[in-house]
Amino acid sequence: MIPVGIQDDTDKKLSIPDGTTILISDLNTGLYPAIIPVGIHRKTPVPSAATFIHTSRSSGRCRAKGEDLEGSLTGESIIYYAETLERDLHTAIAEENYAKAAQIRDSLKLLKEDRKTSLLAANARFYNVFRIGDLATMQTLWAKGNEVCCVHPGARGITGYDDVITSWEYVWANYEFPLDIELKDVKVHVRGDVGYVTCVELVKTKGSSWGGQFVTNVFERIDGQWLICIHHASPIDL
């Protein structure tokens, strides 16, 4: 891992070593992360309160300066940034600015290839679907097979894709959407094509108080996409 130099003087260039990408999240303005392609020198404003996340392409590991990755880069921000890149890509193509389009396409590729980052985004998509009760989309987030398992709070484990999806339909039957959902203490672990996210999940339905669960979501990377294999939620006291 080669540290990246930070220059507060915006008239100077930010030097980035070969084989390294960085994600910049401005803590003051709330700007979402931006990926700068590897092996270049850019003359770019550098927010004084920015958090720099260094990603080594060779090791596949991420770290954030001064704090964990999960505390600096959220799944929501990753999704937002990816959607912004997609829109910018379409705009660049429509304007026939193919050089800019190529740069944006490279940034999208880097974002998707970083497994820890893409796993955070997959976990965020799961909770976005959970929040609005979108059963059709929930079906697309799970791996299809008899080995998948879902443990709802206080219930026994349910195995098999069809039964797991049916269980969500039952669980959501009496809910009024959207739900209030907050995640705390999010931790991400990846090894090869398998990864898991642990977090404290706080859910509030209309007319009720907050309920808390400690959750483990296990994902498998299949055809380049992180799909859920196990969702295990255990009730906790708040």
**Is residue 38 situated within a structural domain?**
yes
Max mean pLDDT range (53-62, 76-85, 190-199): 190-199
How crowded is the C-beta side of 211, counted as CA atoms within 13 Å? 15
Residue 151: beta bridge partners? 232
Q: Which of 59, 84, 113 is the last residue of a domain?
A: 113
pTM of the model: 0.60
- CATH at residue 139: 3.10.450.50
Comparing 15-19, 34-38, 65-69, the range with the smallest average pLDDT is 65-69
Share of the chain above pLDDT 70, in %: 66
- pLDDT at residue 76 in the model: 65
Domain range for 69 is 14-113
For residues 62-73, average pLDDT: 37
**Is residue 64 situated within a structural domain?**
yes
Residues 175, 213 within the same domain:
yes
Residues 137, 232 within the same domain:
yes
- The count of residues in the chain is 238
- pLDDT at residue 98 in the model: 84
- pLDDT at residue 34 in the model: 41
What is the residue-averaged pLDDT of the chain?
74
- pLDDT at residue 104 in the model: 85
Distance from C-alpha of 142 to C-alpha of 182, rounded to nearest angstrom: 21
